[in-house]
């Protein structure tokens, strides 16, 4: 199966040709390491008893491409980003620390990773801080595993537009919430059924509350706890970028291959999370109150996208109900 099959939509209408780019041994070494180390670790015994490459007649660059594009025999399940299997079970982290968000499936955020583009396309890829980037949307669960990766858009793309494209394309197979379930998103995303955003115009990021007193009013309290819970996606991204330097600096790989690299890194991330309980990077980013000093705002290139007013009003009522209950309980213990 393809890595992240059904979750990542690769740009199919890209008019640039792979022949316009240089394939380097660095790509083999980098992506090959990410994918094959996971496969070998998961299948060590069977590999030791097997004639090398028996399942494929390809080697080198073509072997790596075969795995990236999909090979049902070689590609182990560890390369798939699995949808939540039981979305009716409340995660123990929510029960313990965030009972008001008991219906939450996980958190969503966009991040910019390094990209390379030919001169004719560099303007659209210049994202935050004028670097050439691609805008990748990520969703994670409360076990710090990625459950959705969408690597398709250039760096100038607005987060909301990437989000709408990600959840509305049926081919993406986005794990949509059911019933009262939702994902936590930041203020750059719409507050709509299935996606709970904070109040705009109020303090939000944890750094905004550090040393500045208690939350003032129900909206600030909601934002503080929303940020504390959604912090898990920022920590996941922190681990991902710390572990895989290729996401910060990339050379002239074909654009179609560049979009596959974040997915390969995320599957490796999930494998390590599953198999290595004492991994040093996960331990470093384990604090639920970890403050990120340089968290760029989403949707820096603001773009107005129209949503159904009744839908946004419906989720606004849900948010107000949660905020009111939070404040009432908080006021009883902080008088």
Domain range for 59 is 18-333
Give the integer Cα–Cα distance in Å for 88 and 105.
9
Inside any domain, residue 12: no
Inside any domain, residue 205: yes
Inside any domain, residue 11: no
What predicted TM-score, i.e. pTM, was given to this entire model?
A: 0.75
Q: How many residues does the chain have?
A: 335
Domain count along the chain? 1
Inside any domain, residue 34: yes
Q: What is the pLDDT of residues 130-149, one digit of tens each?
A: 678 889 999 999 999 999 99
List b or e across 75-110, with b for residues whose CB sees 16 or more CB atoms inside 10 angstroms: bbebbbbbebeebeeebebbeeebebbebbbbbbbb
Inside any domain, residue 4: no
Inside any domain, residue 232: yes
pLDDT average, residue stretch 75-91: 63
Q: What is the pLDDT of residues 211-224, one digit of tens each?
A: 667 788 899 999 99
Inside any domain, residue 25: yes
The beta strand positions in 3-158, using DSSP E, are 104-114, 133-140, 146-154
Inside any domain, residue 3: no
Between 12-16, 67-71, 101-105, 196-200, the lowest mean confidence (pLDDT) is in 12-16
């Amino acid at each position: 199966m393809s890595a992240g099959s059904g979750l990542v939509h690769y740009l199919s209408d890209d008019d640039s040709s792979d022949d316009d780019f240089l394939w380097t041994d660095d790509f083999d070494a980098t992506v090959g390491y990410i994918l094959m180390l996971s496969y070998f670790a998961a299948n060590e015994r069977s590999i030791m008893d097997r004639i090398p490459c028996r399942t494929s007649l390809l080697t080198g660059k073509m072997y790596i491409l075969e795995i990236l594009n999909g090979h049902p025999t070689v590609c182990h399940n560890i390369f798939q980003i699995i949808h939540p299997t039981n979305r009716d079970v409340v995660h123990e982290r929510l029960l313990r620390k965030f009972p008001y968000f008991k219906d939450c499936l996980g958190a969503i955020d966009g991040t910019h990773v390094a990209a390379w583009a030919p001169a004719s396309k560099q303007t659209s890829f210049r994202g935050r801080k004028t670097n050439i980037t691609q805008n990748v949307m990520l969703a994670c669960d409360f076990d710090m595993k990625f459950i959705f990766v969408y690597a398709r858009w250039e760096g100038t793309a607005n987060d909301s537009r990437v989000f709408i494209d990600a959840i509305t394309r049926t081919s993406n197979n986005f794990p949509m919430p059911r019933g009262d379930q939702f994902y936590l998103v930041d203020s750059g995303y719409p507050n709509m059924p299935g996606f709970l955003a904070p109040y705009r115009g109020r303090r939000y990021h944890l750094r905004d509350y550090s040393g500045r007193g208690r939350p003032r009013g129900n909206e600030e309290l909601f934002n503080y706890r929303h940020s504390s819970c959604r912090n898990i996606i920022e920590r996941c991204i922190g681990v991902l970028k710390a572990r895989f330097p290729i996401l910060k600096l990339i050379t002239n790989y074909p654009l179609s291959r560049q979009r596959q690299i974040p997915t390969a890194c995320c599957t490796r991330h999930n494998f390590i999370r599953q198999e290595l309980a004492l991994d040093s990077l996960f331990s470093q980013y384990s604090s639920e109150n970890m403050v990120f000093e340089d968290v760029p705002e989403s949707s820096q290139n603001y773009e107005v996208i129209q949503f159904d007013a009744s839908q946004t009003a419906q989720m606004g009522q849900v948010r107000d109900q949660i905020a009111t209950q939070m404040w009432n309980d908080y006021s009883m213990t902080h008088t």
